[in-house]
Structure formats: C-alpha cells, structure tokens
Amino acid sequence: MSTVTVQLFASYAESFGGPTIEVTLQPGSTVGDLVKTIRSLPGSGVLPDSPRVAVNRKFATPQQLISSIDEIALIPPVAGG
Amino acid sequence: MKRAAVVTRAIDPTAIVAEVQTAGIGAISLFLGTVRDVNDGRPVSGIDYSAYVSMAEEEMQQILAEAEERYGVKAIAVEHRIGPLTLGDVSIAIAAAHPHRAPALDATRFVIDEIKKRVPIWKLEHYTDGAREWVDPTRSSSEAKA
C-alpha cells in the first residue's frame, strides 16, 4: 500500500473541496485503478466517463503504472486560448 | 528560437513580435486571443484563467516543437495569460516567423488549435447576471468560437 497525492484544478478542485486529494493504492496500481479509487470519494460526480490523468506532467493511458514518487494530476476538460 | 510561457501580467504583442524577428524571414504571423463579451448567448463580464503551470508550459513547448517540425518556422513564441481578465484583454499571443507567409500563418493556427485540445488551462467565466461557470468545450457548443 502506498499513498499518492493527486493534484486537482478548476472544477475538480471545487468539487472535491481542495487542490489535492490523498489516495491509497496497492503496489502495481495503474492510472485506471487510481481513477476507480477516486470515483468512490465524495465530489467525484464531476468526473466524466474517462477523465484525463497526467503523470509527471504528461497525459497518461489507463494502463500506465503509478509509482509513489510520480507527480499525478487529474485534468478537467481544458479551455485555454 | 522557441519560447512558451504562462504569465500573470498583461501580454505585450509588440514584444512577442520583436522576439521572433530574425534574419532570413519574410513573414511574421501574430495571433491574439481576447476575452469576448458573450459566450453561448450569455453576456460575459470577465474570465478567470487558471493553469497547471508547469505542465502547461511543457505542453506548449512541445506544441511549438511540433510546429517547427511541421512548418519549418524560424522562430515561434507563445504567451498565455492567467488570472482575472476583463473584456477585450489579450489572453494569448502566438507569433511565428518564416521566410514565407503561408507556413507562418499555418503555424499560428496549428498552435492555437493544439493548445485548445491539450494544454491544461481553464476558464471560469463570469456573467453579467452574477453567475459563474467553468467552460467545458466537451459539453458546450462554444469550442470553435474563440
């Protein structure tokens, strides 16, 4: 078991009630596992069917493995420009 | 040269144009995005922009590298402003320099289109009736309007 800190922004930060959440994962967990765990938390109703996740500032696939030293963020629908 | 930055101050388009001026070019294309007074029929009073700054700068730098590769631009720069912006404020400036006009124009178009798809920047729109809403281009019909 390890705990990772997930950064939140914009509508997600408002919905979950802060700029980060702590999530406990089993060793060998993937981005998909992380999203599944986050869906059990209060505020997760804001998430779309396939929320985008960034690992070390790059968009990640659901299959990507997560390590406890990774920089992880949930990315709401982007609206720059 | 290529430079991408998220800034919290006013954008100076003249400075960005000067930055991409280099020997051997014949065209500089400048794109400015500005805060519009209406979105999806609702009167807008202003927009708060926020970003995942470190990732946004890396992703924009990557987009500039792709523009360089695709269009052969000699120099290209982008600045995206975050924080509270009012109507008419410049939210983004992109300048691309090339020996010829077509690749310069195409490169700025490419960069703004890619930024809208994959750079982690968000808009909290404020409306004249006091309401506020996070802009979500995946849900609304506003994506192609900016």
B140 pLDDT band, cuts 50/70/90, is low
B116 closest CB neighbour out of A11, A76, A81? A81
Distance CA A44, CA B29 (A): 43
The nearest alpha carbon in chain A to B124 belongs to A10
Average pLDDT score over residue span B85-101:
98
Residue % of chain B over a pLDDT of 90: 93
Number of H-type helices and E-type strands within chain B = 3, 9
Distance CA B108, CA B96 (A): 6
B139 pLDDT band, cuts 50/70/90, is confident
A79 closest CB neighbour out of B55, B59, B135? B135
Domains along the sequence of chain A with CATH = 2-75 (3.10.20.30)
| CA A55 to each of CA A61, A81, B92: distance values in angstroms, whole numbers, following the listed order | 9, 23, 26
pLDDT score for B141: 56
Domains along the sequence of chain B with CATH = 2-136 (3.90.1170.40)
Cβ pair B135:A57 closer than 8 A:
no
Output the pTM of the full model. 0.94
Cα A45 to chain centroid, rounded: 14
Check CB contact of B146 with chain A, cutoff 8 Å.
yes
ipTM for the predicted complex comes to 0.96
Residue A48, number of CB atoms within 10 A of its CB: 11
Cβ atoms A75, A53 nearer than 8 A: yes
Check CB contact of B123 with chain A, cutoff 8 Å.
yes
